[in-house]
A and B are shown apart, each in its own frame.
Chain A
Amino acid sequence: MLELYEIRKTFNLGTPTPTPALRGVSLKLSPGEFVTIIGSNGAGKSSLLNAIAGTFPVDSGKIIIDGTDVTDWPEYKRASLVGRVFQDPMMGTAASMSIEENMAMAVKRGQARGLARGIKGEMRSYFRELLAGLGLGLENRLTDKVRLLSGGQRQSLTLLMATLSKPKLLLLDEHTAALDPKTAQQVSQLTDKIVRENNLTVLMVTHNMEHALKTGTRTIMMHEGQVIFDVSGRKREQMKVADLLSEFARLRGERLADDKILLG
């Protein structure tokens, strides 16, 4: 579903302080795989997702989504294949527009937009049904401005929007990190539910190692712009956070405080 070949990206190239963010990342995801990504701060996790989504062009390498080479595609074009939820709950919705307007825009993700009515009658009952599934009472607030929602509500809505028209690939970048623990838990459960129901292929960055091992089907660890560890199947099932840490230490030949990764 996703193939990355030797992706490289350096920010501020040609200035006195170039920042390498991705240093040759290769990765292959089969359909239905749910990969969690961990790694310390600045390891390049967000850059990896941004590179896949097309936020910036990569310096070299090849990005193939669902069999199509999208390396030269601009971000808005890749949106037909990729759904995204950002860390900042404010970033995934248009605050001055209503819940139903936001959802209607998500229905058209990656499709041509014309002069048809943005919201058609039959959409509303569909939206109401989906929102009811969140259990947040949003099904009765279709015409409320998104500005009025809490962070957790907005993030749940964004998640719903990112998966409305089933994407080939779902990118989640620490999408629960800005929420309080209880809300974060709810949004995590919602994520699992939506991913399972739609059988989505997912890349999810998380700073919680335990969560990374418990959720999904595969875990990769990034460090200094590279994938240094990749585990799935039985080996992953038996793994504990402590094992991950010692694996990291062994691979890098350096001791690393537990919280350095946890906070990453």
Chain B
Amino acid sequence: MLTFPVVAGVIEQGLVYSLMALGVYITFRVLDFPDLSVDGSFPLGAAVSAKLIVDGYNPFVALVVALAAGLAAGAFTGFLNTRLRISSLLAGILTMTALYSVNLRIMGRANIPLLMEPTFLTLLEKAGIPSEYVALVSFFVLVVVVKLVLDWFLHTEVGFALRATGDNPIMIRSLGVNTDRMKVFGLAISNGLVAFSGGLVAQYQGFADVGMGIGTIVTGLASVIIGEVLFHPRRVVTQVLSVIIGSMVYRLAIFLALRLGFAPTDLKLVTTVLVIIALAAPTFSRWRKQAKLLPKSAAGA
């Protein structure tokens, strides 16, 4: 049952989607900006990367352009929010909705198969990495690199300013930081990562589909929250790590749900229930405490 390809598949998915989850971590946790544009920028990355490959471009180039497209999408949400003063939620929804049409335009149709096309994986195979390990190894290396870069960045002067913008914008403005610019910047790198992840997923699974972004935000949030619940990370370095592990655990949970007999189409519901439970955990425990307190105080009175 648990053959190597099956286990590897779960880990590979956990790794490749963790890049998307890290994007969500940057907006939701670091910047305190609930950014829904990722539902559009994930398939944007996939669309760009697939389209460029079928047009004959190098798959690695396709990934870089996917990343750049995501940066632009995030910056656009930032523009809507900081310049046009549209609320964060609505700004994200507007970008996400616009991207749906943009993605269809880019692809020219709703789905682009890549099974017969070269991908970064087939190129790496040609370079000598055995095909059963190629996704595992390349995703692992990528995630390690992204984690190290993110750890480094969040401890630079700009990284501090970004974190403080999410924590206390009044304070960091009084220390001379343009918080609007920080928001645009943070949204750009977040959506860049998400689109990059989308580009990788398209090449990994062998197609891009215009509907593949639905629920991205919830999946990303699930990974972030699972990591938090499991590790209670305090330092930035461990927070980033816990998002990555959270993404792996999430994929494992999905895998088990499928084994339990849930249909693939039920997974969004399963994920949502997971996130609701995690988000509501503090409320539940408060209710429990109150329930415990009640009889006591009644006895006292």
Residues of A within 8 A of B (CB): 53, 74-77, 79-80, 82-84, 86, 91-97, 101, 104-106, 108-111, 113-119, 145, 161
Please provide the chain B residues from 209 to 261 with a CB less than 8 Å away from any CB of chain A in the complex.
234
Instruction: Let me know if B167 and A96 touch, CB within 8 A.
Output: yes
Question: Which of the candidate stretches B54-62, B81-89, B176-184, B192-200 sits at the interface with the other chain?
Answer: B176-184
**B9 close to chain A: CB less than 8 A:** no
Question: Which of the candidate stretches B110-118, B121-129, B156-164, B282-290 sits at the interface with the other chain?
Answer: B156-164
Instruction: Let me know if A109 and B156 touch, CB within 8 A.
Output: no
Instruction: Let me know if B155 and A118 touch, CB within 8 A.
Output: yes
**B98 close to chain A: CB less than 8 A:** no
Instruction: Let me know if B176 and A118 touch, CB within 8 A.
Output: no
Instruction: With CB as the reference atom, state the residue of chain B lying closest to A162.
Output: B174
A-B contact pairs, 21 of them (CB 8 A): A74-B178, A76-B173, A76-B176, A77-B176, A79-B175, A79-B177, A92-B171, A92-B174, A94-B164, A94-B171, A101-B160, A104-B157, A104-B160, A106-B175, A108-B175, A109-B175, A113-B160, A114-B158, A117-B156, A118-B160, A119-B155
Beyond A53-B174, A114-B158, 20 additional pairs, beta carbon < 8 A: A74-B178, A79-B175, A86-B170, A91-B168, A93-B171, A94-B163, A94-B167, A94-B171, A95-B167, A101-B160, A105-B160, A106-B175, A108-B175, A113-B158, A113-B161, A114-B156, A116-B157, A117-B156, A118-B156, A118-B159
Instruction: With CB as the reference atom, state the residue of chain B lying closest to A164.
Output: B175
Which residues of the partner chain A approach B164 to less than 8 Å between Cβ atoms?
A: 94, 97, 105
Instruction: Let me know if B234 and A145 touch, CB within 8 A.
Output: yes
Kindly provide the distance from the CB of B178 to the nearest chain A CB, expressed in whole angstroms. Answer: 5
With known contacts A113-B157, A114-B158, A117-B156, A105–B168 Cβ distance under 8 A: no
Kindly provide the distance from the CB of A60 to the nearest chain B CB, expressed in whole angstroms. Answer: 24
Kindly provide the distance from the CB of B189 to the nearest chain A CB, expressed in whole angstroms. Answer: 13
**B172 close to chain A: CB less than 8 A:** yes
Question: CA of A77 to CA of B180 in the docked complex: distance in angstroms?
Answer: 13
Return the contact of B158 from the options A53, A115, A145 (Cβ within 8 A): A115
**Which of B156, B163, B171, B179 has the largest count of A CB atoms less than 10 A from its CB?**
B171
Return the contact of B156 from the options A80, A106, A116, A161 (Cβ within 8 A): A116
Instruction: Let me know if B179 and A76 touch, CB within 8 A.
Output: yes
Interface size on B, as a range, is: 20 to 34
Instruction: Let me know if B176 and A108 touch, CB within 8 A.
Output: yes
Instruction: Let me know if B168 and A95 touch, CB within 8 A.
Output: yes
Instruction: Let me know if B157 and A75 touch, CB within 8 A.
Output: no
Instruction: With CB as the reference atom, state the residue of chain A lying closest to B168.
Output: A94
Q: Main secondary structure on chain B at its contact with chain A? A: helix
Question: CA of A115 to CA of B175 in the docked complex: distance in angstroms?
Answer: 17
Those 9 A-B pairs whose CB atoms lie nearest each other, nearest first: A79-B176, A113-B157, A94-B167, A110-B176, A118-B160, A94-B164, A109-B175, A94-B168, A115-B156
Question: CA of A95 to CA of B169 in the docked complex: distance in angstroms?
Answer: 12
**Which of B153, B164, B168, B175 has the largest count of A CB atoms less than 10 A from its CB?**
B175
Question: CA of A110 to CA of B176 in the docked complex: distance in angstroms?
Answer: 5
Instruction: Let me know if B176 and A109 touch, CB within 8 A.
Output: yes
Which residues of the partner chain A approach B157 to less than 8 Å between Cβ atoms?
A: 104, 108, 113-118
Instruction: Let me know if A93 and B168 touch, CB within 8 A.
Output: yes
Kindly provide the distance from the CB of A55 to the nearest chain B CB, expressed in whole angstroms. Answer: 9
Instruction: Let me know if B174 and A84 touch, CB within 8 A.
Output: yes
Instruction: With CB as the reference atom, state the residue of chain A lying closest to B163.
Output: A97
With known contacts A114-B157, A116-B156, A116-B157, A105–B175 Cβ distance under 8 A: yes
Kindly provide the distance from the CB of A243 to the nearest chain B CB, expressed in whole angstroms. Answer: 35
Which residues of the partner chain B approach A80 to less than 8 Å between Cβ atoms?
A: 176
Q: Contact flags (1/0) for B281-299 with A, using CB distance below 8 Å?
A: 0000000000000000000
Which residues of the partner chain A approach B171 to less than 8 Å between Cβ atoms?
A: 91-94
Which residues of the partner chain B approach A91 to less than 8 Å between Cβ atoms?
A: 168, 170-171
Question: CA of A115 to CA of B163 in the docked complex: distance in angstroms?
Answer: 14
Kindly provide the distance from the CB of B164 to the nearest chain A CB, expressed in whole angstroms. Answer: 4
Instruction: Let me know if B178 and A76 touch, CB within 8 A.
Output: yes
Which residues of the partner chain B approach A101 to less than 8 Å between Cβ atoms?
A: 160
Which residues of the partner chain A approach B156 to less than 8 Å between Cβ atoms?
A: 114-118
Instruction: Let me know if A105 and B159 touch, CB within 8 A.
Output: no
Question: CA of A92 to CA of B234 in the docked complex: distance in angstroms?
Answer: 21
